[in-house]
């Protein structure tokens, strides 16, 4: 695979341009149960964006990912996230919230949740996650959140409501994903993101994904993390889309 590093567009950032894909999932040294789940999905090899992003996530890098819809962005962060949680549980038994995944709509939260369900097909007893965006009554989820699920998925406003009510503790949080960051800006979630930051640890690995990277979208990263190095990963517009097995179709 050819990877081109060019001068940073942002301070302390790197820009990565993905040119071609040649890796298969076996080469990523993933848990066998996760590999079985991936095989059941019919995915034979990573998409271009997954080939670059997955190893960078394992290296604990914070990423600014620019790739169009249908490029496999969700699995690019979900696969290494599941792997890292499985490894963490082998080292210690204490339960804590490992990751927050923020998406701008209930529909997108549900999409992430379904991807995790597929990837955790053989590890459902080891990894717990919940999509809080589907429940308007915050009290309903209070007992489950008190048990610290490994992953919480939700819109910024829903996550903030639970954080303000002290329904979960994120003092040991490791990982935050901001999915469809361009829509976060469009829907005006900047203030909620800034408020949510006050509840989070200072040291976090953050993955920001977007179909576009306008200046306002880039600035959104500072709503959760104000320092540290970021790597910008960009998928060329003329790159190949993944096979149909990695695409989600919608009827409108």
CA atoms within 13 A on the CB side of 170: 26
The predicted pLDDT at position 243 comes to 44
Are 76 and 54 contacting, i.e. CB atoms less than 8 angstroms apart?
yes
Give the DSSP H/E element, type plus range, for residue 231: strand 230-234
The predicted pLDDT at position 249 comes to 33
How far apart CA 175 and CA 94 sit, in angstroms, is 17
Report the sign of the C-alpha dihedral through residues 32, 152, 217, 84, in that order.
negative
Q: What is the pTM of this model?
A: 0.85
Both tokens of residue 199?
A: 């509840």
Are 20 and 228 contacting, i.e. CB atoms less than 8 angstroms apart?
no
Per-domain boundaries in the chain: 3-246
* pLDDT tens sequence for the chain (252 residues): 333 333 344 443 444 554 444 568 999 999 999 999 999 999 989 998 999 999 999 999 999 898 877 778 999 999 999 999 999 999 988 899 999 999 999 999 999 999 999 999 999 999 999 999 988 787 889 999 999 999 999 999 999 999 999 999 999 999 999 999 889 988 999 899 989 999 999 889 999 998 877 766 666 776 666 556 788 888 766 555 444 444 333 332
The superfamily in CATH containing domain 3-246 is P-loop containing nucleotide triphosphate hydrolases (3.40.50.300)
The predicted pLDDT at position 220 comes to 72
> Angle between the 106-119 and 32-40 helix axes, to the nearest 10 degrees?
120
The predicted pLDDT at position 130 comes to 96
């Amino acid at each position: 695979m050819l990877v081109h590093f060019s001068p940073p567009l942002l301070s302390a950032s790197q820009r990565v341009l993905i040119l071609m894909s040649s890796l298969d999932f076996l080469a990523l040294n993933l848990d066998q149960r996760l590999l079985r789940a991936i095989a059941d999905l019919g995915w034979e090899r990573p998409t271009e964006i997954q080939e670059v992003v997955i190893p960078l996530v394992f290296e604990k890098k914070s990423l600014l990912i620019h790739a169009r819809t249908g490029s496999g962005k969700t699995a690019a962060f979900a696969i290494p996230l599941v792997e890292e949680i499985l490894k963490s549980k082998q080292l210690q038994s204490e339960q804590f919230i490992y990751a927050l995944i923020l998406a701008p709509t209930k529909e997108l939260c549900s999409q992430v949740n379904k991807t995790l369900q597929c990837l955790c097909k053989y590890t459902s007893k080891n990894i717990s996650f919940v999509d809080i965006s589907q429940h308007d009554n915050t009290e309903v989820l209070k007992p489950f959140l008190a048990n610290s699920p490994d992953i919480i998925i939700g819109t910024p406003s829903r996550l903030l409501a639970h954080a303000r009510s002290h329904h979960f503790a994120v003092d040991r949080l490791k990982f935050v994903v901001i999915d469809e960051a361009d829509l976060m800006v469009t829907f005006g979630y900047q203030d909620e993101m800034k408020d949510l930051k006050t509840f989070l640890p200072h040291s976090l690995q953050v993955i920001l994904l977007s179909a576009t990277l306008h200046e306002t979208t880039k600035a959104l990263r500072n709503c959760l993390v104000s320092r540290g190095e970021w790597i910008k990963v960009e998928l060329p517009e003329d790159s190949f889309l993944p096979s149909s097995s990695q695409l989600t179709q919608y009827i409108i």
